[in-house]
Amino acid sequence: MKLNLNRKFSVLFMISINILLLFVVKTYAYAYNNTAYNKSEDDLYISPNIEYFMFPDGTKLLRFYRPMDDTGCNEPNLHLKLLYKNGTLSTFNVQDFSVPTFNYCRLDQSNILSPDYIKISNLGRNIDLFYIFYYNISDTAPTAPFGRFVLEVNSDGNILSNNWLGPASYHNYSIIGREGKFKYIYDSYYYFQLIDIYDPKILSWQKFSLTTNGNLYNQENDYGIINRDHLDIQFFNNPIFSFQTIDDGIGFIYSKNYSTATNLQPSLYIYANFYNPDNDEFTNPFIVYTTNVQDTILTGAICVPDIFGIGYKCIFQLQTTTPDIGHSFLLISFRSSGSIDDLEILGSSSADLAVRTNLYYGGYLLLYKNNLQNSCEISGNIYDNNNIFNSNFDSITLPNPCVIIDNYIDNKIEMISNITPTNFIISSFDLPKFINDGEYIYHYMNIYCIIYIFL
Ligand SMILES: *[C@@H]1O[C@H](CO)[C@@H](O)[C@H](O)[C@H]1NC(C)=O
Ligand SMILES: *[C@@H]1O[C@H](CO)[C@@H](O)[C@H](O)[C@H]1NC(C)=O
Ligand SMILES: *[C@@H]1O[C@H](CO)[C@@H](O)[C@H](O)[C@H]1NC(C)=O
Ligand SMILES: *[C@@H]1O[C@H](CO)[C@@H](O)[C@H](O)[C@H]1NC(C)=O
């Protein structure tokens, strides 16, 4: 079997599980340290538009911004800073970086907390490289043809490549995206996007291989189109969720809802199927879950390969609207053949989002996030290797944009817990160990994994 490195980088999202709290056997707060760092008032806010990460030497890349009065845009400056392990914060310059200033305008121009059009990510790679996404929209003629690009930048701030990702359009002072997503498949990154934002059935893909140094490069003619005709069976604008498979492909989860359930027909069907880019084939969709509860829809699905490499574990988030009983969620294990191994109803709650992350020394954390007006509330439960509840992760309120950083070097979870014009505080949490030192196992934490509608 080919080893898909991205299995290491898997994450499950779910909504908070209050029911599990009934089984609390012990509870303790985890020790955490607060460290305050000074910053300049020019770096007024922390940007929501970066998947915060660390370089392999432990240095964190932070992005700030400063809105310009009444323009709907931020100062045309990336405001990037490096936070070294010794606590020094210094300016990070990307050499020769110059993009049209419209990129610094906010998606919701009237909201100063809204993201701009520049995105930064390390694609979950934990290497000395990262990626800046931007649009080459003309500031003087915004309706002229333009599109999205990705820059590869190294930790010295040198731009190594600039690749075209596909066209976008401009309408009513906004960029109308066909914003795609990179997926790692076997040994390459594929950038998938919808060709027509109103037609989820047709995706385009572009393949980026890796050089021996780990740089992305786009080979000529390595692009194509995928037709997802099987999506005919889903209700037209229900979301589609994707996940990486064990063996070089992509899996999809999608759903069809009916207004009423009958004896013969449930009110909701959830399907899964797989795509293999080698032979450009989709497998036949199979049903992984049905329910007769009226007015129930699928609003979230996160799947990861299970640790034995034989199937998948998914967390489905369902919402029942009439009567409004909020979110509930389920843990389902299935194989690629379509057989269901396990189904657990985890409970229901009002949290907006939850992440499952393996801990550095065994066990896992279910982290719940409740979005509040200008902040979010984070809480969680920790389980041991046998899925037995161990302890609570006490609730903490974070200011927007609710930054959580996986400190994979010190084996801690870190959060930006306070921000003022002149400083910010990082809280750093120690987590329990369920195996001995030296038996370090893989983990992954990525609260920024956005659920991509249609892809
Ligand atoms: C902190 O580390 C950085 C990078 O290694 C170095 O340039 C800087 O001088 C250090 N600062 C202090 C106060 O030690
Ligand atoms: C953006 O880049 C594309 C691809 O290189 C090019 O065709 C287009 O003219 C550019 N648009 C602008 C406004 O520079
Ligand atoms: C243009 O955007 C504004 C706010 O961004 C919105 O109120 C307005 O309805 C939009 N107009 C059109 C024609 O879409
Ligand atoms: C399915 O759910 C969507 C979203 O809630 C709703 O708009 C639609 O009417 C439902 N479809 C049917 C056939 O009930």
Count of C-beta atoms within a 10 Å radius of residue 41: 9
Distance CA 194, CA 179 (A): 8
Choice between 282 and 9, residue whose per-residue pLDDT is larger: 282
The pLDDT, as a whole number, for residue 349 is 61
CB 219 within 8 A of CB 163: no
Q: Which atom of ligand 1 is nearest to the CA of 86?
A: 1
Choice between 162 and 394, residue whose per-residue pLDDT is larger: 162
Summarised one tens digit per residue, pLDDT across range 100-137 is 999 999 999 999 999 999 999 998 888 999 999 999 99
Helix (H, G, I), strand (E, B) or coil at 226: strand
CA–centroid distance, residue 76 to ligand 2 (Å): 20
| 172 pocket-lining for ligand 1 (C-beta < 6 Å) | no
Distance CA 431, CA 425 (A): 19
Under the banding of pLDDT at 50, 70 and 90, the label for residue 441 is very low
How many percent of the chain have pLDDT more than 70?
82
Under the banding of pLDDT at 50, 70 and 90, the label for residue 200 is confident
Summarised one tens digit per residue, pLDDT across range 270-301 is 999 888 877 778 888 899 999 998 888 888 88
Indicate the residue type of 142. P
The pLDDT, as a whole number, for residue 126 is 85
The tokens for 382 are 């920790």
Average pLDDT over residues 233-245: 73
Summarised one tens digit per residue, pLDDT across range 71-83 is 999 999 999 999 9
Alpha carbons within 13 A on the beta-carbon side of 358: 21
Q: Among 34-48, 92-106, 236-250, 288-302, whose mean pLDDT is lowest?
A: 236-250
Q: Which atom of ligand 1 is nearest to the CA of 59?
A: 4
Which residue, among 112, 225, 238, 118, has the nearest Cα to 175 in the 3D structure?
Answer: 118
Count of C-beta atoms within a 10 Å radius of residue 386: 9
| 186 pocket-lining for ligand 4 (C-beta < 6 Å) | no
Indicate whether 69 pLDDT > 50. yes
Indicate whether 198 pLDDT > 70. yes
What pairs with residue 286 in β-bridges? 272
In this structure, the residue with its CA closest to atom 13 of ligand 1 is 88
The pLDDT, as a whole number, for residue 359 is 73
| 95 pocket-lining for ligand 1 (C-beta < 6 Å) | no
Q: Which ligand has its closest atom nearest to the C-alpha of 255?
A: 4
In this structure, the residue with its CA closest to atom 3 of ligand 1 is 84
Average pLDDT over residues 204-208: 89
Supply the mean pLDDT for the chain: 81
Distance CA 30, CA 430 (A): 6
CA–centroid distance, residue 288 to ligand 1 (Å): 53
Q: Among 25-29, 238-242, 392-396, whose mean pLDDT is lowest?
A: 25-29
Choice between 167 and 194, residue whose per-residue pLDDT is larger: 167
In this structure, the residue with its CA closest to atom 14 of ligand 1 is 86
Give whichever of 4-18, 33-47, 288-302, 405-419 has the largest mean pLDDT: 33-47
Indicate whether 455 pLDDT > 70. no
Summarised one tens digit per residue, pLDDT across range 258-268 is 888 888 889 99
CB 179 within 8 A of CB 185: no
CB 131 within 8 A of CB 160: no
Under the banding of pLDDT at 50, 70 and 90, the label for residue 444 is very low
CB 234 within 8 A of CB 271: yes
Distance CA 302, CA 223 (A): 27
The pLDDT, as a whole number, for residue 10 is 28
Indicate whether 17 pLDDT > 70. no
| 371 pocket-lining for ligand 1 (C-beta < 6 Å) | no
| 257 pocket-lining for ligand 4 (C-beta < 6 Å) | yes
Indicate whether 448 pLDDT > 70. no
Q: Which ligand has its closest atom nearest to the C-alpha of 92?
A: 1
Indicate the residue type of 165. L
In this structure, the residue with its CA closest to atom 2 of ligand 2 is 146
Average pLDDT over residues 207-227: 88
Indicate whether 29 pLDDT > 60. no
The pLDDT, as a whole number, for residue 36 is 96
How many percent of the chain have pLDDT more than 90?
36
Under the banding of pLDDT at 50, 70 and 90, the label for residue 442 is very low
DSSP of 404-445, one letter per residue?
EEEETTTTEEEEEEEE-SSEEEEEEE----SS-TT-------
Choice between 309 and 419, residue whose per-residue pLDDT is larger: 419
Q: Which atom of ligand 2 is nearest to the CA of 149?
A: 2
DSSP state at residue 213: T
| 299 pocket-lining for ligand 4 (C-beta < 6 Å) | no
In this structure, the residue with its CA closest to atom 5 of ligand 4 is 297
Q: Among 103, 136, 218, name the best residue to mutate to test ligand 2's pocket (greatest count of ligand atoms within 8 A of Cβ).
A: 136
CA–centroid distance, residue 296 to ligand 4 (Å): 9
Average pLDDT over residues 400-421: 89
| 442 pocket-lining for ligand 1 (C-beta < 6 Å) | no
The pLDDT, as a whole number, for residue 196 is 78
The pLDDT, as a whole number, for residue 12 is 29
The pLDDT, as a whole number, for residue 447 is 36
Q: Among 140, 146, 161, 175, name the best residue to mutate to test ligand 2's pocket (greatest count of ligand atoms within 8 A of Cβ).
A: 146
Distance CA 38, CA 418 (A): 12
The pLDDT, as a whole number, for residue 225 is 85
| 297 pocket-lining for ligand 4 (C-beta < 6 Å) | yes
CB 405 within 8 A of CB 52: yes
CATH class (in words) of the domain with range 18-42+154-452: mainly beta
The pLDDT, as a whole number, for residue 127 is 92
CA–centroid distance, residue 83 to ligand 1 (Å): 10
Q: Which ligand has its closest atom nearest to the C-alpha of 164?
A: 2
What pairs with residue 134 in β-bridges? 149
| 164 pocket-lining for ligand 1 (C-beta < 6 Å) | no
pTM over 0.85: no
Average pLDDT over residues 354-367: 70
The pLDDT, as a whole number, for residue 221 is 78
